[in-house]
Amino acid sequence: MTVAMKTSAEPIVLDLTGMTCAACAARIEKVLKRVPGVESATVNLALESAEVAAPGALSDRLVAVVEGAGYGARLRSRDPKARRREVEAREAERRHDLMQALAVFLISAVLTAPFFVVMGVMVTGRHVHAFTPVVQLMLATPVQIIAGWRFYVGAFKSLLGGSANMDVLVALGTSAAYGFSLYQMIVLGEAADGHLYFEGAATILTLVMLGKLLEARARRSAAAAITKLMDLAPPVATRIGPAGPVEVVVEDLRLGDRVLVRPGERVAVDGVLRQGASELDESLVTGESRPVAKAIGDAVVAGTINGSGAMEIEVRAVGEDTTLARIGRLVEQAQIAKAPVQRLVDRIAGVFVPVVLAIAALTFAGWMLMGAGLEAALIAAVSVTVIACPCALGLATPTALVAGTGAAARAGILIRDIDALERAHGVDTVVFDKTGTLTEGHPIVTDVFTVGPGARDMLRLAAAVQATSEHPLARAIIAAAKLDGGPFPAAGMARAIPGRGVEATVDGRAVAIGNEALMQDLGVDLTFFTAEADRRGAEGKTVVFVSKSGEALGLIALADPVRPEAAEAVAILHRRRIDVRMATGDRADVAGMIGRALGLDRVAGPLRPEEKAGLIRSLSADGRTVAMVGDGVNDAPALAAAAVGIAMGSGTDVAMETAGITLMRPDPRLVAASLDIARATWAKIRQNLVLAFIYNVVGIPLAAAGLMTPALAGAAMALSSVSVVSNALALTRWRPRRGT
Ligand code: ADP
Ligand code: MG
């Protein structure tokens, strides 16, 4: 089982320029991996970036290596201000490139259009002598120079770097068609008419440019999702100083500063509400569309929009440390990462161009040997070169991933681990944790039962022992004791036993609080309390026992209401034919009651954290693909053991690093939604790969057989890129289905 946790230091991220296809990406990856000290390198074509696991000191060397291979590279800054400037500069650069490409395309299109008109007329069966060879030459030459330029440059760089990319195919194919036509003209003069392929060369270049334009647009819209996320937190805030409110840039704020958020304003920092009350639109961070009421003491995160009240917030995190920035980084990392299937595609793309060149050479030789003549042989070979461009293949997976993870993030689902996404499409069993996942996770003490009259003393004793515990039960006990009043006794260092309870020394005596298993371990006799405990357990209450010096003092019963969406969440999963189970550290009778109430297929408890992981492993051994849903704290072993670990965050305090998928708000219905988007993304990847391969698999033999003109081959190639990209972009419209 793999643990989806990054162990090494932060990876080095490079922004790349000059990549034209999957072969370029594969090439850059190869040169990066060859650098000593580099553990791994992944290049994402859609986002034009590389993630390299290597010591930070290597970054200059990495940039140099990429540049040596003929591409542009820049180290991505970590500082949010610099990063924002970089993103803007890159945006501007991309816009500039796009405008330039658009101009080149328009000029080529205007010059190529007359050929199209003639071709159109010829299709109707009439023969036209529209253009003399000289006119054809005059139309095609500027296209060959202006549009061909970038392909010549790209091809030259690529060959210089010792590899062959798509530019080589385009440059070679069109030059052959153009050069051959020019030769015919010189040798045959006016008689060459009918044996010229100027229109082929011009059409290919124009359509490839069109394909590139569409591709660039698709890339921009994918990258825009991230840029938008980064822009959500305003760069300025209103600090409340001794002289009243002053506007300051966020970078000048210190932790503990107070900032004022006026009605309708967007929150610039993470913090805690200290004055006032309001309701916040948190949809951009958690995907929840209804406003969330905030009272004094509540956490507030950057990027959310204030409703009708004014709020005074104590700053807890700014800039890079905010939840929003962390989300942005995680989404970015996930998108850069590569799906396992992509690694295969890259290997194919890396050898694709040489293989295609070989096929083209064979085609040429074959036609010549059959005595078909130079013209037929050359044209068939040119068509092969053009139709075989692997650009659609390179775009198939990354565009789908970027679109899918982006749509998920908008719905409050953070997909951090692409491998988990790949596994998620096959999930047939979902195991939920109970506390905090299916239940609210904010238990309240309902009653305290003791042998003697000292119920309140025992509660205070329990609270003292729990003081350092983060467990929801501990917080409930402390809250109840505080409400009751009176001083807590002084407790020594407490020791938590995960899934069982806590122990500490009070007044030199060992005090323990926990479940039956803990008491058994300590040899505490519970006989007197069993009936009382069972009675409360049957009501669905959690029961913990308190012991002192090995003697049972009494028990505390707590109720943790089931989340209102839990039953619906289970029903939605059942509709997807998924086996839904629960694993809990709580008593079997409590587990059973909740299981019946929610319609779960099976419940298991009481289980310790390792036993939960063991359960997941044994389910996996039975051939199931298991998703584990937990709060990400004491469920970490089980989350790691599952094929897909889904951590449920509270939206503000998120344990984002432990699981492959994190839900940004505690709504168990999002589990089905995340499996849905994983499935949808997966389906898109498969469709795209099939689409891309079909073009090549069908196109190459047709072209080799001489059944395709170069112009038609160019059109087919452009169409394959366009269909792959638009198919992937359809995913950006994905929204979670609301069950009824
Ligand atoms: P779940 O699996 O429901 O999330 P845990 O694994 O966190 O529950 O805990 C399992 C059981 O262990 C609890 O139901 C409780 O009986 C006991 N326990 C764990 N931590 C504590 C604690 N701090 N105080 C008292 N009991 C505890
Ligand atoms: Mg739990």
Does a structural domain hold residue 221?
no
What is the pTM assigned to this prediction? 0.74
Q: Could you tell me if 540 and 614 lie in one domain?
A: no
Task: Give the closest ligand to the alpha carbon of residue 605.
Answer: 1
Marked catalytic residue, from 15, 433, 667, 676: 433
| Cβ(500) – ligand 1 distance below 6 Å | yes
Does a structural domain hold residue 206?
no
Q: Are 661 and 424 in contact (CB under 8 A)?
A: yes
Atom of ligand 1 nearest to the CA of 466: 23
Which stretches within 337-390 are classed as H helix? 340-369, 374-387
| Cβ(439) – ligand 1 distance below 6 Å | no
- DSSP secondary structure letter of residue 491: B
Strand-by-strand arrangement of the 278-281 sheet: 292-294, 278-281, 305-306
Decide which of 54, 76, 98 is a domain's last residue: 76
What pLDDT does residue 358 have? 93
Nearest to 17 by CA among 85, 96, 83, 78: 96
| Cβ(434) – ligand 1 distance below 6 Å | yes
| Cβ(632) – ligand 1 distance below 6 Å | no
Pocket test for ligand 1, best of 466, 518, 560, 584 (most atoms within 8 A of CB): 584
Q: Could you tell me if 421 and 449 lie in one domain?
A: no
Q: Using CA positions, which residue lies closest to atom 27 of ligand 1?
A: 501
What pLDDT does residue 436 have? 83
Q: Tell me the backbone φ, ψ of residue 52, rounded to 5 degrees.
A: -120, 125
CA 495 to chain CA mean position, Å: 38
CATH of the domain at 297: 2.70.150.10
The CA distance from 173 to 713, in Å, is 11
- Residues pairing with 311 in the sheet: 261, 276
- DSSP secondary structure letter of residue 633: S
Q: Using CA positions, which residue lies closest to atom 10 of ligand 1?
A: 585
What pLDDT does residue 399 have? 81
CATH of the domain at 66: 3.30.70.100
Task: Give the closest ligand to the alpha carbon of residue 472.
Answer: 1
Q: Could you tell me if 526 and 585 lie in one domain?
A: no
Q: Could you tell me if 485 and 624 lie in one domain?
A: no
Atom of ligand 1 nearest to the CA of 437: 4
The CA distance from 513 to 502, in Å, is 5
Ligand 1 centroid distance, CA of 97 (Å): 58
What pLDDT does residue 7 have? 38
- Residue 433 a catalytic site member: yes
Q: List Cα–Cα distances, 640 to 233, 412, 431, 437, 470, in angstroms.
A: 33, 21, 13, 17, 21
The CA distance from 413 to 285, in Å, is 10
Q: Could you tell me if 433 and 567 lie in one domain?
A: yes
What pLDDT does residue 225 have? 59
CATH of the domain at 526: 3.40.1110.10
Q: Could you tell me if 570 and 543 lie in one domain?
A: no
The end-to-end CA distance of the chain, in Å, is 36
| Cβ(329) – ligand 1 distance below 6 Å | no
337 torsion bin: left (phi>0), alpha (psi -120 to 50), beta (else): beta
* SS3 category, 191: helix
State the total domains in the chain: 4
| Cβ(634) – ligand 1 distance below 6 Å | yes
Ligand 2 centroid distance, CA of 636 (Å): 10
Hunting for tokens 């970027």 — which residue is that? 402
| Cβ(612) – ligand 1 distance below 6 Å | no
Residue-range definition of the domain harbouring residue 541 = 444-559
Q: Using CA positions, which residue lies closest to atom 20 of ligand 1?
A: 501
What pLDDT does residue 442 have? 84
Q: Give 10-residue mean pLDDT values along the chain (740 residues).
A: 41 85 80 91 82 88 90 82 78 84 93 82 65 89 93 85 78 90 87 82 86 72 61 84 88 90 91 92 78 89 89 89 77 66 70 87 95 90 82 78 85 84 91 90 91 86 89 90 88 86 92 94 93 91 94 94 94 96 91 94 89 94 94 76 85 56 89 94 91 86 88 80 86 77
Give the pair of three-digit tokens for residue 57: 């000191």
Does a structural domain hold residue 405?
no
